[in-house]
Structure 1
Amino acid sequence: LINTQYRRHIITLEDPIEYIHATKRSIVHQRGMHYDIRDFASGIVAALREDPDVVVVGELRDQETMKLAVSAAEVGTLIFATMHTSSAASTVERMIDVFPDDEQPQVRAMLSQSLAGVVSQVLLHRLDGERRVPATEVLVATPAVSNLIRESKVPDIYSVIQAGKGLGMHTLDDSLEDLVGRKLVDPEEAYAYAQNKARFEKAMKGAMSLDVPLQNPRPKRAGE
């Protein structure tokens, strides 16, 4: 979207490079692990020397990479990054918990000022057998969210997401319920990923008139 609509300098740090992004309105430079950069941390340092508007970090794997990414965001660089987490709140918690206890207050303060939002997703099998479909959770970093991060009340973020639909936020369970309601995914697979299982089961019984309790099956693997 940025590349097609804005004149920006974008640098991506990837492991590996899977798609080639053609330069459109923006200038895009893609850097691959082990070819152009040694690791993501050194890649961020090198990228910032080129005065980018946007840096895409393939994965925030360690404390050094996270600190560099947050520091870069603080000075105005737009940072996109991925983490292996299951929800918006757990993403924020992971970014803080990776640091020693004595550094966490400073990290919370930095993150509360620089975080713009979090999008989490899980991939479910479509009922028609074609590909997969994402269930998502969206957090927008409102002043209320920033305060919760700064005050070490990250678990309360879930309540803010529930109340923030007018701002474009939604929980993972909202997305799962929507997919089941549109008959795109198996209710039992959706239930396996639900965060509030009691609420989800109640909602699904009302929507689909299930006569038996939903089970908690092992999520299906690719190819099953």
Structure 2
Amino acid sequence: GQVQKLAYSLLNDEQVRDFEINRELNLGFTLEEVGRFRVNIFVQRSEVSMVIRYIKWAIPTIDELGLPRVLKEIVMNKNGLVLVVGSTGSGKSTTLAAMIDFRNHHEGGHILTIEDPIEYVFRHDKSIISQREVGIDTLSYENALREALREAPEVIMIGEARDAETMKAAINFADTGHLCLTTLHAVNSNQAMDRMMNMFPSDMRNQLLMDLSLNLRAVISQRLVPGMKGKLACAVEVMMNTPYISELLRDGKFNEIKEIMEKGDATGMQTFDQSLYDLYKSDQITIKNALAYADSSTNLEWKINFGGDQKKLDTRHNLNKLGGLEELTLPSEEV
């Protein structure tokens, strides 16, 4: 059909073979003077289909995205592991690109990215940036990760930590003095820790906890929340690896980390509920959406009622005017 002809026109011979074997393929392509696109090609009802997403030429800045300023400090670390986590479509790749580009504009060195596919195209500034696309510039993530250190980078960005081998490589890069950034599917930092632990056999977990306690720099979790006038607001949780959190990581006490994060203003740490509270106070989101996307709607409602100075409102009264608490739909945590 016409869709198959269009899809195949975007592929090289190797990608065509890959698609015909696996029946699905991700890729990126550029149209001069138009922009860059991310494409997913798949088969449904025996017909080739496509989903195409437009990616802006300009890489948005951390400030333009409304992200916490502490992300600028995080990406300037000399070494360590940084995780950006969230569900599909939560903007992880955009946040990662903004962080990489901030470093590009402020620090010299070699930044290596391994992506499937390349989304944002970086331009050299103070750093030289090498972007390798799986399936085009390298045969596989495994090959690219194995050769990465031979390419002499100071910073390595891995598009997604999909399995134990990729996560092991990311931790190894951090352990050998590099700054490594990657993404993971998880709804918050606690789940991110659990997901990493579950990637590995039980006999490796003590070593993994030790490695994380020493090398993890931060976990940045995000959710896109419906905002005012059809815009989306980004709620962000930031976990920093302070000395106390390092102890909790080493002991596997993930459930105790959130309490420390709630007290972590001086370090730049914040929970989702704190971020949602700030978005509500600044009139970027409604009460209803703040509570719908909270980790603890009860705690956030209490904070809105009693923790603010200008908006000590009865949220239940306001929610009932908006359609009632019984209509409040919590977002899915499936990733």
TM-score, normalization by structure 1: 0.92
Report the secondary structure of 1:83's partner residue.
strand
Report the secondary structure of 1:128's partner residue.
helix
Which residue number in structure 1 is paired with residue 329 of structure 2? Answer: 217
Which has the larger share of strand?
Answer: 2
Which residue number in structure 2 is paired with residue 42 of structure 1? Answer: 143
Letter in 2 for 1:78: L
CA contact (8 A) 1:201 1:214 kept: no
The 2-side partners of 1:218 and 1:202 are apart by: 18
Report the secondary structure of 1:82's partner residue.
strand
Shift of 1:37: 2.5
Name structure 2 gaps, 5 residues minimum: 1-101
The 1-side partners of 2:280 and 2:262 are apart by: 19
The 2-side partners of 1:140 and 1:30 are apart by: 28
Shift of 1:39: 3.3
Q: Are positions 1:14 and 2:115 aligned together?
A: yes
1:30 aligned residue (131, 148, 151):
131
Name structure 1 gaps, 5 residues minimum: none
Mapping 1:87-102, distance limit 5 Å: 87-102=188-203
Shift of 1:219: 4.2
Shift of 1:150: 0.7
The 2-side partners of 1:202 and 1:60 are apart by: 37
The 2-side partners of 1:126 and 1:189 are apart by: 8
CA contact (8 A) 1:128 1:184 kept: no
Shift of 1:218: 4.9
Report the secondary structure of 1:217's partner residue.
coil
Q: Which has the larger radius of gyration?
A: 2
The 1-side partners of 2:251 and 2:292 are apart by: 32
Identity of aligned residues (%): 34
The 2-side partners of 1:167 and 1:134 are apart by: 20
After the TM superposition, list the runs of 4 or more consecutive aligned residues in structure 1 that deviate by more than 6 angstroms. Answer: none
Which residue number in structure 1 is paired with residue 92 of structure 2? Answer: none
CA contact (8 A) 2:293 2:330 kept: no
Which residue number in structure 1 is paired with residue 274 of structure 2? Answer: 174
Which residue number in structure 2 is paired with residue 188 of structure 1? Answer: 288
The 2-side partners of 1:90 and 1:219 are apart by: 16
Which residue number in structure 1 is paired with residue 254 of structure 2? Answer: 154
TM-score, normalization by structure 2: 0.62
CA contact (8 A) 1:40 1:58 kept: no
Shift of 1:182: 1.6
Shift of 1:153: 0.4
Letter in 1 for 2:329: P
Letter in 1 for 2:250: R
CA contact (8 A) 1:41 1:68 kept: no
1:83 aligned residue (184, 189, 199):
184
